[in-house]
Amino acid sequence: MSDRILVFYGSYRVDRAGIRLADYAVRALNERGCDAELIDAKAIDLPMLDRMAKEYDEGTAPAAMNNLADKIRNADGFVFVVGEYNRGVQPGLKNLTDHFLEEWYWRPAGIVSYSAGRMGGALAAEAWHATLSEMGMIVISSRVSVGQITRTLDESGIPLGDGGASFARAFDRFAADLGWWTEAAKAHRERQSPPF
């Protein structure tokens, strides 16, 4: 059975350069045999966090929230495609993730960051590492940071030039690492129930 991987993306901007990276991630993971799906925070458009999904009475949470909770629970792993806003995280993606907690537990997550500049969203990736760990995910050590994203991927998410080729090699290693941890976590959950 294919690994079910959710790829999260959170920019709400009109000109979203990072969607190139999110599309690439979904396509590359599917080419590796995964069942990858893009979860676009802007498209789902959850309300600003007032109550987490678990805090709603049965049947009263917004339908999009319930649907996403089910997808997260049934996923084997996650990829977070993160941009950097003023040395921090994107508010749209952070808002989406905060609606859930136990749904994330005991699965691996990988971080792919980007920026228009040379740093590739490295500071946001660091912030996300701590956040995802706190939310019960196992954050893999491999990470991909894409600087100058519009020079690395075209509008369809196709790698450009030497920078794009270097990125594609790095992503392949990242995906292999995520796949290893995904399989390890699945096998362990089959042998032993999580402790809480």
Q: What is the pLDDT at residue 193?
A: 86
Distance from first CA to last CA of the chain, Å, rounded? 26
Q: What is the pLDDT at residue 88?
A: 86
3-state class (DSSP) for residue 68 = helix
Instruction: Tell me how far apart the alpha carbons of residues 125 and 80 are, in angstroms, rounded to a whole number.
Output: 9
Q: What is the pLDDT at residue 25?
A: 98
Q: What is the pLDDT at residue 5?
A: 98
128 close to 96: Cβ distance less than 8 angstroms? no
Nearest CA to 80 out of 21, 123, 4, 2 is that of 21
Q: What is the pLDDT at residue 139?
A: 98
Instruction: Tell me how far apart the alpha carbons of residues 123 and 83 are, in angstroms, rounded to a whole number.
Output: 9
CA dihedral 47, 45, 69, 7 (to 10 degrees): -140
pTM of full prediction above 0.75 = yes
Q: What is the pLDDT at residue 194?
A: 84
Give every residue of the chain whose pLDDT is below 50, as ranges.
none
Domains of the chain as residue ranges with CATH: 4-191 (3.40.50.360)
